Structure 1
Amino acid sequence: MGVDFSKIQDGFATAASPLTKDLLLHDSKPVEPALRETGNFLAPPKKIPFNRYFDRDFAKLEKEKVWKKCWQVVGREEDLPQVGDRKPYDAGELSYIIIRSGPNEFRALENACKHRGTRLCHTATSAPTIKCPFHAWEWNVDGSVKNIPSRWDFPSVTDEEYHLPEAKIGTWGGFIFINPDPDAGPLEDALGVLPKHFGPRESTDRFTYVGFRKKMRCNWKQAQEAFFEAYHVIETHPQIMTYNGDTTTSYDIWDDGKSQVSRSITPSAVPSGHLGDDASRLLAAEESLKTFALMFPGVELPKIKSAETGRAEVAEWRRQMMGAALGVDFSSCSDSYMLDATQYFMFPNFWPWFGEGLPLTYQFTPYGDNPDECVMETRLTLPIPANGQRPPASEIVDIDFDTPIASVPAMGIMSTIFDQDLSNLPLVQLGLHSTRDPQASATLGLYQESRIQAFHDMLDRKIAE
């Protein structure tokens, strides 16, 4: 039986907690065009088999159809500031050297020696050439052969044939993307609405303030699905319900057959709809202000004047504080831009966030050949100061399976949120294995989990190609 999409309820509002779309209508500033746009796609609802999160045969299909065929984010240009800087990018068993091969040029080279297969790059480093640590076979930074010791003993080896194999590479908004498929279409096809929605301040003109790379005992799909929805806030993050509009979150999906981009906007400085009509809007503004003030220790906080203007007051305080700290003019930015958690997703694993409410970036990848493990890389970014001098990008901290995000103090209050999120994921992975029914499947909400449904719809299409 089909679903009448026109009758799907798009959130739950109360007298104290308007839907996000209504908050945007009453913003104290003109709302950015991107935030006014709505999606064009809803995937037909179907249940998601549990076994696709742990079945090794399905993981092999993903390797062939997703990780070898799709445009995927591998880092930012600022990670590799000098020619010769390189780092490995691993997607499961696949590995590439992402290297700055010229002042304005990057390459993605297969991370295996053409002699006997030794991995050539296993950590971020820099050198004028790429040299195998086993027998010193050596390549230039563009992947061309430089030197083979005892070349006389390899008469069949030619420079052309032993050039390091390359994946396609492209850049957008300060991010670097690769696609191993030599027949892949251009990166622009995969980006969908992102270039239209994001300007330089949201993408290019930023630097990594702090970041981590976390190993997790769960499937990569299951891990990122935890961030597609705000439905989990009531149980996983109850401490933020006084100032987080989880039930009023808006969800949008854009899909043109070549790309899939989805978005959620979760408002801040409004209470959760779960708290009812009598929830305090004044307290929501006050608690939101305290949270945002954590990045300015010791600063005296203003008194919120009224519940009616509280959200706008918090936004204006942020405009002033961030403007003074960075020398950046935020005066025309909307309340939503300054306060709300606005996250975008580009299939299969790229998560750029919009605005200054929570300026994060995620990427998720399988870890090795075990579908029960994955890696999440997270960055908190800030705008480049008005003087135009780009601060050096912070080193991405590697965090092992059993080490909490709280081990990275610079993440601040977000470390608590992340550790709460990540505490669920191993339990979900165990539960997926535990059912006796081989046909067991996930049942998704029509609206709050619509982005998960769309993600699997796109995944199914890629698998079927």
Structure 2
Amino acid sequence: MTIEATRPTRPTRPGEWLDDPATGLSGLRSAPADFQWKIPTERYTSPEIALQERKLVWEKTWQVVGRADELAKAGDWKTYQLFDQSFIVVRGRDDVIRGFVNACRHRGNLLCAERSGTSRQFLCQYHLWSYDLEGNCRGILRENLAGVDRADVSLLPVPVETFGGFIFLNPDPEAKPLAEYLGPEVVELLQPYKMDQFITVMDVEEPLECNWKVVMDAFGEGYHIWGVHPQLLNVIFPDPETGRYRFLGDHSVATTPFDVPRGAQFGPEEQVAGIRKLPETFPAIPLMLPRFEELVAEYRGTGDILVFPDGVTARTLLQRATRDTLTGMGLDVSELTDNQMTDNQGWVLFPNFFMTVRAGECHIVVPSPHPSGDPNRCIWHVASYMYLPAELAEVAKVEPTVVKEPGSHTYFEALQQDYEQMQRQQAGLRNSRLEFETITREEMVVAAFHHVLDRYLGGAAS
């Protein structure tokens, strides 16, 4: 089932929550008092806590397992591994995407041993029992002698739904619907980006030497930019007084203006130079630069000196360039605000989906527990998606990369910096005398995430 937003009739756009003091928390003073500001380090290293998480979090929550366009036609399937549990996700002949336990109902043999494929049916290689794409048992070897009713041995279903072009799976057969799990505000706020029409321009999976929550924590705050990504300070200046936070049940969204304070060290030329460096981190920016340069040129005067009047910055020009470019390509960004043209909104969908999204592109980081259950390791999936017209989409789309040898893949600059830093952090967290982390008010989303995790580990999650 695909989720659609049910939006009330109103004159404002969903993205305008940023300008509404009733909906967007801001500044250091807005941090809820009951958030946890000291995180026990054993949460990242303890096998016992990892086992608790398996039972109380991973076996009970909706998890992103891929993109709907990976299963473009009937019979396309992929597998999803969660610890030692294996699932199949397949597009049926009726165009519905379904999920099943990856095991034959006869003697439990894996039906799909590869990561993905296309089949007219699922055939068990052990005793040749077969199943259709909807999970019904269609063939039993020497059925007249088997003494088995086909209707009793259909594949075991697991809940699968789609939203924003992403496929979500929940291992719990009694799971509440995805729309209820996300909540109406999450659906409404994300719908205008039209992510279901985005195509994949980067897709990498690799084992990491760190706990999955180290990854979630790293991407939930901008406090580390000064130490890890100083090159981004030309265009991103995380300021907890100007940033905005919104907590939506188990989930959250945060954003900070895609801009730097104006001053002697960041005049018009420096602002423009910062924008020109963005293609190293954001793949959609090159599309916007030609129009951006046209707009910048309008403000060059005698001697080629660049002067911005009040109300004009490199950020506002990039906003205009982004809207002009995407609209000129026939893409619909009419429901997005000017801020959404430039400012990345960082979404955390519990338990392990982090996404930054702005007009025309989004980037996801999805860390999962290592199949071995070792709390000091995880598997991360990082991917980028762009909103492109059909003729460009075909050229830009890429196939998944699975990194076999750790460290052999080079990510774009900022992501490579995070990749290296997170594994250093895990090494430090394993020191036995370090009993807890101290979370600052600038890491409000990290505190919120652990607040939700506390409820799940306490068995009180909704």
What is the TM-score with the length of structure 2 in the denominator? 0.81
CA offsets, 1:33-91, max 9 Å, x none?
24444159834234211111121111111111111111222222111011111101122
Out of 260, 271, 291, the residue aligned to residue 284 of structure 1 is 271
Counterpart secondary structure, 2:153: coil
CA offsets, 1:350-384, max 9 Å, x none?
23433227522332211202222222222222225
Counterpart secondary structure, 1:197: helix
Alignment of 1:108-127 (within 5 A): 108-121=99-112, 122-127=114-119
Contact 2:161 2:169 in 1 (8 A): yes
Which residue number corresponds to residue 48 of structure 2? 57
Greater alpha carbon shift after TM alignment, 177-186 vs 31-40? 31-40
- One-letter identity of the residue aligned with 1:77: A
| 1:213 aligned onto 2:205 | yes
Counterpart secondary structure, 2:235: coil
How many residues matched? 418
Which residue number corresponds to residue 137 of structure 2? 145
Amino-acid identity (%): 27
In the alignment, the residues of structure 1 paired with residue 31 and residue 176 of structure 2 have an alpha-carbon distance, to the nearest angstrom, of 22
| 1:201 aligned onto 2:193 | yes
In the alignment, the residues of structure 2 paired with residue 297 and residue 198 of structure 1 have an alpha-carbon distance, to the nearest angstrom, of 22
- One-letter identity of the residue aligned with 2:439: L
Q: Which runs of 4+ in 1 moved over 4 A?
A: 150-154, 296-300, 329-333, 386-393
Contact 1:137 1:148 in 2 (8 A): yes
Alignment of 1:281-320 (within 5 A): 281-282=267-268, 283-292=270-279, 295-296=286-287, 301-302=293-294, 303=296, 305=299, 306-307=307-308, 308=310, 309-310=312-313, 311-320=315-324
Using the TM superposition, give the Cα deviation of residue 119 of structure 1 relative to its aligned residue in structure 2, in angstroms.
Answer: 2.9
Using the TM superposition, give the Cα deviation of residue 441 of structure 1 relative to its aligned residue in structure 2, in angstroms.
Answer: 0.8
Counterpart secondary structure, 2:346: strand
- One-letter identity of the residue aligned with 1:118: N
Alignment of 1:229-308 (within 5 A): 229-248=221-240, 250-255=243-248, 259-270=249-260, 278-282=264-268, 283-292=270-279, 295-296=286-287, 301-302=293-294, 303=296, 305=299, 306-307=307-308, 308=310
Out of 165, 168, 173, the residue aligned to residue 177 of structure 1 is 168
Out of 348, 372, 378, the residue aligned to residue 376 of structure 2 is 372
Contact 1:269 1:288 in 2 (8 A): no
Alignment of 1:78-117 (within 5 A): 78-117=69-108
Alignment of 1:321-336 (within 5 A): 321-324=325-328, 326-330=329-333, 333-336=336-339
In the alignment, the residues of structure 1 paired with residue 444 and residue 64 of structure 2 have an alpha-carbon distance, to the nearest angstrom, of 23
CA offsets, 1:289-335, max 9 Å, x none?
442586359959344633541221122223333444x3225577543
- One-letter identity of the residue aligned with 2:265: A
Which residue number corresponds to residue 155 of structure 2? 164
In the alignment, the residues of structure 2 paired with residue 370 and residue 398 of structure 1 have an alpha-carbon distance, to the nearest angstrom, of 20
Out of 437, 452, 458, the residue aligned to residue 442 of structure 1 is 437
Taking a change above 3 Å as real, the CA distance of residues 167 and 94 of structure 1, as seen in their structure-2 partners, is same
In the alignment, the residues of structure 1 paired with residue 42 and residue 356 of structure 2 have an alpha-carbon distance, to the nearest angstrom, of 30
Root-mean-square deviation over aligned CA pairs: 3.1
Contact 2:78 2:88 in 1 (8 A): yes
| 1:381 aligned onto 2:374 | no
- Listed as ranges, the gaps of 5+ residues in structure 2 are 1-11, 300-306
Which residue number corresponds to residue 422 of structure 1? 419
Contact 2:201 2:384 in 1 (8 A): yes
- Listed as ranges, the gaps of 5+ residues in structure 1 are 1-28, 408-414
Using the TM superposition, give the Cα deviation of residue 445 of structure 1 relative to its aligned residue in structure 2, in angstroms.
Answer: 0.8
In the alignment, the residues of structure 1 paired with residue 288 and residue 254 of structure 2 have an alpha-carbon distance, to the nearest angstrom, of 30
Using the TM superposition, give the Cα deviation of residue 452 of structure 1 relative to its aligned residue in structure 2, in angstroms.
Answer: 1.2
- One-letter identity of the residue aligned with 1:341: N
Greater alpha carbon shift after TM alignment, 306-315 vs 228-237? 306-315
Counterpart secondary structure, 1:102: coil
Counterpart secondary structure, 1:96: strand
In the alignment, the residues of structure 2 paired with residue 119 and residue 45 of structure 1 have an alpha-carbon distance, to the nearest angstrom, of 42
Taking a change above 3 Å as real, the CA distance of residues 401 and 430 of structure 1, as seen in their structure-2 partners, is farther
Using the TM superposition, give the Cα deviation of residue 233 of structure 1 relative to its aligned residue in structure 2, in angstroms.
Answer: 0.4
Counterpart secondary structure, 1:109: strand
In the alignment, the residues of structure 2 paired with residue 428 and residue 261 of structure 1 have an alpha-carbon distance, to the nearest angstrom, of 25
CA offsets, 1:413-451, max 9 Å, x none?
xx11111001011111111112335xx0111012x2111
- One-letter identity of the residue aligned with 1:421: D
